[in-house]
Amino acid sequence: MFVKQLLTMVLFFFSLVSQFLKSSSQSLNFTYNGFRPPLTDISLQGIATVTPNGLLKLTNTTIQKTGHAFYTKPVRFKDSPNGNVSSFSTSFVFAIHSQIPTLSGHGIAFVVAPTLGLPFALPSQYIGLFNISNNGNDTNHVFAVEFDTIQSSEFGDPNDNHVGIDINGLRSSNLSTAGYWDEKDEFRNLSLISR
């Protein structure tokens, strides 16, 4: 039933700051404060577009479609000579906006993948990452942080507003209700859907 609902997921403002530590002496940093054509190092796929004011819009009102935006240059996460795994950090701002206030798509995900794209990924509960036959396969080599807005019991989702760490599939290896810790060390719930 949810699959047939009209949805719009929009990134109103996207600022990505990433640091990939290749070795003790090298790092890669990039920052996007909006997007302006031509996009030389971002690949838009599916129905993803950039609005005239520079916002990255991953979907529109078309149902059962996905949109992806991938950084086009390879990033090494492992230093081959000594085998050290790189650490990284990222921050971004996003909005999930729906035409129907009480219902949205299944969410969005920040993804690290071995290829430029996820060609067999399905929309809806697969969040544009996997499909029924490859979900959970160790050969996927996909890491994702999902911002999930619909509870999918087949993946063990605790609720319809959570953040999960996904490795090769949508059954999160770690997850938590969306929120933040305030200055008094109290947990505050945060709705992933903009209302």
In-domain check, residue 131: yes
Structure confidence at residue 17 (pLDDT): 30
Which domain does 136 fall in, by range? Answer: 2-189
- Count structural domains, the chain: 1
Query: In residues, how long is the chain?
Result: 195
CATH number at residue 67: 2.60.120.200
pLDDT at 11 over 50: no
Q: What pTM was computed for the model?
A: 0.81
In-domain check, residue 95: yes
pLDDT at 37 over 60: yes
Separation of alpha carbons 93 and 166, rounded Å: 20
Separation of alpha carbons 149 and 162, rounded Å: 7
pLDDT at 21 over 60: no
In-domain check, residue 163: yes
Average pLDDT (22-33) is 66
Least confident stretch, 7-21, 56-70, 83-97, 110-124: 7-21
Mean pLDDT in the chain? 83
Query: How does residue 153 score in pLDDT terms, banded at 50, 70 and 90?
Result: very high
What's the DSSP call for residue 189?
A: E
In-domain check, residue 194: no
CA 29 to chain centre: 19
Query: How does residue 3 score in pLDDT terms, banded at 50, 70 and 90?
Result: very low
Residues 6+ apart with CB under 8 A from 52: none
In-domain check, residue 121: yes
Question: Where would I find the beta strands (DSSP E) of the chain?
Answer: 15-21, 27-33, 42-46, 49-50, 56-57, 67-71, 88-91, 107-112, 143-148, 162-167, 174-177, 179-181, 187-189
Structure confidence at residue 20 (pLDDT): 35
Identify whether the C-beta of residue 97 lies closer than 8 Å to the C-beta of residue 116. no
**Among candidate residues 179, 1, 2, 7, the one with its CA nearest the CA of residue 101:** 7
In-domain check, residue 195: no
Backbone φ and ψ for 162, nearest 5 degrees, come out as -140, 165
Separation of alpha carbons 112 and 141, rounded Å: 9
Separation of alpha carbons 153 and 171, rounded Å: 10
